[in-house]
Chains A and B, each alone.
Chain A
Amino acid sequence: MNFPILSSLILLPFIGALFLFFTRSSNDNKITVKYVALFTSLVTFFLSLYLWILFDQTISEFQFVEDRVWIKDLINYKVGVDGISILFIILTTFITPLCIISVNNSIKSRLNEFLIAILIMETFMIGVFCSLDLVVFYLFFEAGLIPMFLIIGIWGGSRRVYSAFKFFLFTLLGSVLMLVAIISIYWITGTTDVTQLYDLGIDVKYQNLLWLAFFSSFAVKTPMWPVHTWLPDAHVEAPTAGSVLLAAILLKMAGYGFIRFSLGLFPSASEVFTPLIYTLSVIAIIFTSLIALMQEDMKKLIAYSSVAHMGFVTLGIFTIQQQGIEGSIIQMISHGLVSAALFLCVGVVYDRMHSRLITTYGGIVTIIPKYAVLFMLFTLAALGLPGTSGFVGEFLILMAAFKDNFLVAVLASLGVIIGAAYMLWLYKRVIFGKLINTELKKMIDLNRSEAFTLTCLAIPTLYFGFYPEPLINTIEVSINDLINKYNYNVASK
């Protein structure tokens, strides 16, 4: 494989952003600008699909590896994918064009800059999932803060400044410790190359501290209780497309990081800290579900539900079983699709009524039936109804959890019930009930682009709900390999 397909994936959105940078933004060429962005992101998407086709599912090694000297004797620019990362790349490239389609009405000013920010964000996100060097990973991981900060801050709602600052500083604070850990790893082992580190292993006596340093970064990004507080703020204030990116992809960086780095590099520390993760995950699942139950603001409710869903993900990862990790990855993919769709759904009604409060709505089922159907689908997917992708992930995670720790699994299952409660209650209050607010009668049903984006998200949600084989086949071998290495390392301790 000589064609640097991964680097092209990383660079393509950036090149598109450069194009946009040099186009003069005015009201006349709004459509053109949007098409350029859309075109770029679609090309990226198809390239990533092509990558999936070329991808060999039967081997666990990294594929399409590119290794170039970047800083001599220090860092190599190394990228590659395995079964774990490839799905996230496809998720990223799939969600971004939908985001771009969805910016129809919500972004009034500086559309050009907004699209640039989204495309640059895509570059960084693909970079995170490809990079096989800790420093390169850190670079992409942190760089994503800049466009997201601007997306929230410039195009956000009324409390956007507060939210943008909170988002930026929380994440940065978590990440600096990871930088210390990365440099320490460099001095302990002499390399920051992930594949070499997998082979070398890191001395057990350093692992616990290093694990904690990585954890501090990933926990903020996941987000886990009690450092989740930035997420509701960021979600609520961000424009719809920003919320979608944040929920669908940014949060997955941490889950991916847990699998790739925490489990892969620090197996014995992961074993030590599993109880901590279990506890935090269970608290996240139950506590934030309860909080979600009480929310007045639709976006905030979905944001809290994200925290709860990510609680399942961390729980599943640290069961350290085939099913658990598979479930986590599927849960992340599914959450990426479903939460993106839910935020888009909120965006749809927000664009019409300019309110996110649940009490504004009610009884709109007859007014906008198409919307009601799709919203229903995603609500059910969010609560994990069998036949939707949400079910597969949750089911696998809970199964693995039951094998490992009965109490944790029972408590987590409780979270599923509360999850069903708040999602259904949300749906009932927004869609059904009596039509009190007469303003609502003027609402128009989904327009073409909205219907298109939501349908695009609905198809994989249903498809993978009934037939998750393609996902599982892709990740199976890599996870198996990861767990074997893990068991080997823990046993040989």
Chain B
Amino acid sequence: MNNIELIFPEIFISLSIMFLLILGVFKKNGSIIVHNISLLVLLITAVITFNETIGVGQRILFNESIVIDYLSSFMKIITLIAAFVVLLISSSYLKTFKIFKIEYPILILSSVLGMMVMISSNDLIVFYMGLELQSLALYVLATFNRDQLQSSEAGLKYFVLSALSSGLLLYGCSLIYGFTGSTNFNLIASQFNTNEYALTFGIVFILVGLAFKISAVPFHMWAPDVYEGSPTSVTLFFTMVPKIAALTVFIRFLYVPFLNLIDQWQMILVFLSIASMLFGAIAAIGQKNLKRLIAYSSISHIGYALAGLATGSNDGIQSSVIYITIYIVMNLGFFSCLLMMKRNNVYYEKIEDLSGLSKNHPLLSLSLLVILFSLAGIPPLAGFFAKFYIFKSVIEQSMYFLAIVGLLSTVVAAFYYLRIIKIMYFDEEKESYDKDHSLWLKFSLSVSTLIILIYFIFPSQLIDAVSKINII
């Protein structure tokens, strides 16, 4: 077996999961140690991924079913870092709800493993395997706060709808297999006959399944309920990490085997993108719950990332990757704020709970202000650059309609972000929240805010990192 070092990160993480399971079972009150080891595992995996796989060029392993290239390494590292931060800042939340258990970090590790498999997959079967592994872990995570009705409901809803979409996805896979005789991306590319309508159907079914996973309109219905019901730390995980993996599969699936069919799928992606941007922006206006609001906001942000993918160019892919990276930073900051809204062991998540926050918590509200303006895409914050790159690549392909609709929906979206700012800064103050947050929470908030603030000084670094992604 050659090149085994290339999938060493996956091997390492799966061995660790098994080890942690055994450790958790045999050690009494082992949740803290399992938690800490998991953090370490994620960090080490990120380092291994960085060391072993960056710079090796494109390698295809195991009968061409796994691909290791710059895109996969980059996305894996983001996934790992995001999962690391989620785990880092969720402990105090979990402790408050008395659900600080060994299962939580292990489930996160398993879903991360699934995502890493998805990111590297070069074969429909491998991709499906990864997808199911991460989904199963996510179902359980959604219900993690078992005693709460909402959480169980969220998990069940997610499970039922996700199973449906997996079914559609499998059906699409089988159609593609039936008409090309292979499940391998490269083989499909060399064998399909563009005149087959059934193949297009297959693509559509798979796209539907994937769109469901990243909650693009019109397959977004589960997202607000699940995001609202799940424990906040899990919501944070949901809004970022699975989207990275699904987006990578989107890129690989569309651009490796089916680039020639771009006429067929470009329209679908443009539609998904426009619908998500507009719907996410408009539906968020009426929301009262911050988690629900961020669900719609994430729908709208995914719309922008899809706009980059719809271009059919390398620039577009790169801009999407930049977008999702910056989006993750903003989201981390936002949820760090959300996790700080705690008073006497109760977490507050209504928008009106932010009322007058700026008087009692000037720094917290300033950070949130920066994050929200960045989410709205106002320069000179990072969120503006994310959108700028997207629209740059969109306009390069002369897709003016998409660009103008996208930019107009930023104006609509600005409205609800401004509303939060208004409540924080213009309204009367309420009781102040606890101030003794964990160090890590403060750390993640300040780091993400700083990145957003000073991104404009060093914009080239991220572009350089992403510019090595070369799919076409």
Contacts and interface: CB of A to CB of B under 8 A. Distances in A.
A180 interface: yes
Contact of B425 (A154, A165, A176): A154
Interface string A119-144: 00000000000000001001110110
Given A165-B418, A179-B391, A143 B411 contact: no
A173 B418 CA distance: 14
Contact of A154 (B378, B400, B426, B460): B426
B415 A165 contact: yes
Interface string B406-428: 01101100110010011001100
A177 B404 contact: yes
Contacts of B421: 149, 153
A357 to B, nearest CB: 24
Given A142-B378, A150-B425, A153-B422, A71 B403 contact: no
Interface in A361-382: none
A72 B460 contact: yes
A161 B426 contact: yes
A43 interface: no
A138 B379 CA distance: 8
Contacts of A72: 460, 463-464
Contacts of B463: 71-72, 74
Contact of A139 (B380, B414, B460): B380
Given A71-B459, A169-B414, A180 B391 contact: yes
Interface of A is mostly: helix
Contacts of A228: none
Contacts, number: 82
B404 A168 contact: no
Given A138-B379, A183-B392, A176 B464 contact: no
Given A72-B464, A183-B392, A143 B425 contact: no
Given A70-B459, A180-B404, A186 B422 contact: no
Interface in A140-190: 140, 142-143, 145-146, 149-150, 153-154, 160-161, 164-165, 168-169, 172-173, 176-177, 179-180, 183-184, 186-187
A219 B411 CA distance: 17
B52 interface: no
A74 B462 CA distance: 14
Contacts of B408: 173, 176
B379 A142 contact: yes
B391 A164 contact: no
B457 to A, nearest CB: 9
Nearest to A138: B379
Contact of A179 (B380, B407, B414, B459): B407
A180 B387 CA distance: 11
Contacts of B373: 146
Contact of A186 (B379, B392, B411, B418): B392
Contact of A176 (B407, B426, B456, B460): B407
A176 B411 contact: yes
B407 to A, nearest CB: 4
B396 interface: yes
Nearest to A21: B366
A169 B422 contact: no
25 contacts: A71-B463, A138-B379, A139-B456, A143-B378, A143-B380, A145-B378, A154-B426, A160-B426, A161-B422, A161-B426, A164-B418, A168-B418, A169-B414, A169-B418, A172-B411, A173-B408, A176-B408, A176-B410, A176-B411, A177-B407, A179-B388, A180-B400, A180-B404, A183-B388, A184-B395
Across the A-B interface, the 5 shortest Cβ-Cβ residue pairs: A176-B407, A139-B379, A183-B395, A173-B411, A142-B379
